[in-house]
Chain A
Amino acid sequence: MNGGEDAPMSITVKDVEHVANLARLELSEGEKEQFTGQLNAILKYAEKLNELDTEQVEPTSHVLPVTNVMRDDVVKESVTVEIALKNAPDEEDGQFKVPAVLE
């Protein structure tokens, strides 16, 4: 994919497939078509922001003047293993169980 400010503003089914892979989504052929059209429409609308010169503008990630809020590093009571696993789709020996990571 090309990058930067001059990136082509029209995305293809191939781009949608790439992004779906990043987002860990599996899309049907119909969904790929649909999202390609809709994302293009939304991104085209978002091009509007390029009308504004923001070279000298600081980004706002957050409206509150707080950064890096820390708490004291003290041990506190936490949930038990049993409670933590209450919603586990699968578990074994007090741990969340998933399929093999390596084939």
Chain B
Amino acid sequence: MALFDLRLQEIHNKLTSKELSVGDLVDASYRRIAETDTSIQAFLTLNEEGARAAASELDNQLQQGGERGLLFGLPAGIKDNIVTEGLLTTCASQLLRNYDPIYSGTAVKKLSAAQSITIGKLNMDEFAMGGSNENSSFYPTRNPWNTDYVPGGSSGGSAASVAAGQVYFSLGSDTGGSIRQPAAYCGIVGLKPTYGLVSRFGLVAFASSLDQIGPLTKNVEDSAYVLQAIAGYDEMDSTSANVEIPDYVGALSGDVKGLRIGVPKEYLGQGIDPKVKEAVLAALKQFESLGATWEEVSLPHTEYAVATYYLLASSEASSNLARFDGVRYGVRADDPDNLIDLYRKSRSQGFGDEVKRRIMLGTYALSSGYYDAYYLKAQKVRTLIKQDFDNVFNNYDLIIGPTAPTAAFRIGEQVGDPLTMYLNDICTIPVSLAGVPAISIPCGFADGLPVGLQIIGKAFDERTVLRAAHAFEQHTDHHKARPQL
């Protein structure tokens, strides 16, 4: 059994009994990266020197005994849109290819406090815009299950690195499905917490009303551990939720008796691959056998979610990405005629196609005369979509469906057709608009590629989401499947 397939507690026991050192864990991580990353291309920057120094410090601490952090010694990968002090943070963009942050994001600081080790920075779609990692301006990450296929996105590097056994866990960010969809495509567990539960301070903003950091792990228990470490109020993020953080790991009782599950008919309708549907229905049967009940429900505004999302997210992005102008950081274009020309040239040379497309869409939607027709209209429809969820949650504890309508697609298959690409997110986007938590867990395969089950909960009820996901995992083996690399 590979080292990173051990449970967190087993690793910690081996560290206590000196059977294993933190140095061994870090070695295993870099060895696996050396073996596999020429084909997977999950990493953009490695932190080898820093990681080894941190490991030897933790090994010293181990010798002396005493309190250990929740994630002590565990090798972690960080999506490259979360700033890390002294470690390049590029957002997979040419514009930030030399950006050396002067501070670390709150989630990264919390990982340090929990004593995990940052192995490196993970590939992504440029500025988190995309669902395939093909929009990385450096190189595309590939799916460990079949390297001709995309790993999903935008946290494709975060998902692929965990699936390939390069790191014990990773952090990603989710705006419209960017943790859940790549987790589904790569056969791992990806959690998007409730909006506001994890601080966004130090997460390079894409769409501020939707962005949320979360863990990608091989099992639900690890997801609970990492969430425990990174959740919590932060005065540096004005949209941080000031709520008490419950015991997530303690919620994993294995018991789902009496849970009421709603299954949206819109998520199993047109466009869904029959094999994905089959896997989801089998999972529902499993929940039934464990004592939960499920019924078909309706989220009637689902068909409007993708349009709503692209208007809102692109509008917010056009505003957020205005800061990248070549003045204070990033790559400045050579020989500008004047200041405006410096902005124009630096942005035009630094941004890729999809980023430009979304800035254009957002700028148009916010421009004089169109604001009411597009941006305000989309904000109103967002209210209706949120109400859909409120209505179902009046009668049900959880909503379950597929994470994505299909398994991963071939690299290159959907390039040049942004609208089709956007529709891959039909099951994850409404959840983001409603701001509620959701997890994707492995629930089977379609033609040799993993299928993800999405479990959606009420706002701040991650405990029930994790409990159900964990109970399912206890009675199935889908999460134990590993790609041959």
Which chain A residues have a beta carbon within 8 Å of chain B's beta carbons? 1-5, 7, 11, 15-16, 19-20, 22-27, 31, 35, 38-39, 41-43, 45-46, 48-52, 54, 57-64, 66, 69, 71, 79, 83-84, 86-90, 96, 98-101, 103
Instruction: Other than A19-B364, A25-B344, A84-B102, give 6 A-B pairs with Cβ distance below 8 A.
Output: A1-B367, A7-B369, A22-B363, A42-B310, A43-B364, A51-B304
**A19-B364, A48-B304, A100-B339 as given contacts; A60 in contact with B379, CB under 8 Å:** yes
CB–CB B338/A19 < 8 A: no
CB distance from B450 to the nearest CB of A (A): 29
Instruction: Return the contact of A57 from the options B241, B306, B341, B383 (Cβ within 8 A).
Output: B383
- What is the bound-complex CA distance between A5 and B274, given in angstroms? 40
Q: Name which residue of chain B comes closest to A86, CB basis.
A: B102
Chain B residue nearest to A52 in the complex (CB)? B381
With contacts A48-B304, A96-B328 taken as known, whether A19 is within 8 angstroms of B209 at the C-beta atoms is no
Report the Cα distance A24→B347, complex, angstroms.
7
Residue of A nearest to B351 (CB): A25
Please measure, in the bound complex, the distance between the C-alpha atom of A2 and the C-alpha atom of B123, giving whole angstroms.
42
Q: Is B192 an interface residue (CB 8 A)?
A: no
User: Judging by beta carbons under 8 Å apart, are A46 and B311 in contact?
Assistant: yes
- In whole angstroms, how far apart are the Cα atoms of A88 and B382 in the complex? 39
Contact status of A48 and B303, CB under 8 A, knowing A23-B359, A42-B361, A87-B99: yes
Chain B proximity of A44: nearest CB distance (Å): 9
A42:B419 contact, CB within 8 angstroms: yes
- Can you list 5 A-B contacts with CB-CB less than 8 angstroms, sorted by A residue number? A49-B304, A60-B386, A66-B196, A87-B102, A99-B339
Complex Cα gap A85–B330 (Å): 12
Q: How distant is B141 from chain A, measured CB to nearest CB, in Å?
A: 24
In the assembled complex, which residues on chain B have CB atoms less than 8 Å from the CB atom of A1? 367-370
Contact A5 B459 (CB under 8 A): no
Query: Total A-B residue pairs with C-beta atoms closer than 8 Å?
Result: 174
* Smallest CB gap from B384: residue in A: A57
Q: Given A24-B340, A39-B364, check contact A58 B383 (CB 8 Å).
A: yes
Max chain B Cβ within 10 angstroms of own Cβ: one of A59, A60, A71, A87: A60
B431 → chain A closest CB, angstroms: 11
Q: Which of B328-379 contact A (CB under 8 A)?
A: 328-332, 336-345, 347-348, 351, 356-357, 359-361, 363-364, 367-370, 372-374, 376-379
Given contacts A52-B381, A63-B459, A89-B330, contact A26 B348 (CB under 8 A): yes
In chain A, what residue has the closest Cβ to B348? A26
Q: A19-B363, A87-B330, A89-B330 are in contact. Are A64 and B435 (CB under 8 A)?
A: yes
Contacts of B381 in A (CB 8 A): 49, 52, 54, 57
Find B361's partner among A39, A71, A98, A99 (CB 8 Å cutoff): A39
Give the Cβ gap from A63 to chain B, nearest Cβ, in Å: 3
Q: Is the CB of A54 within 8 A of B311?
A: no
Given A26-B348, A46-B307, A48-B303, does the pair A41, B419 have CB atoms closer than 8 Å?
Answer: yes
B308 on interface, CB distance cutoff 8 Å: yes
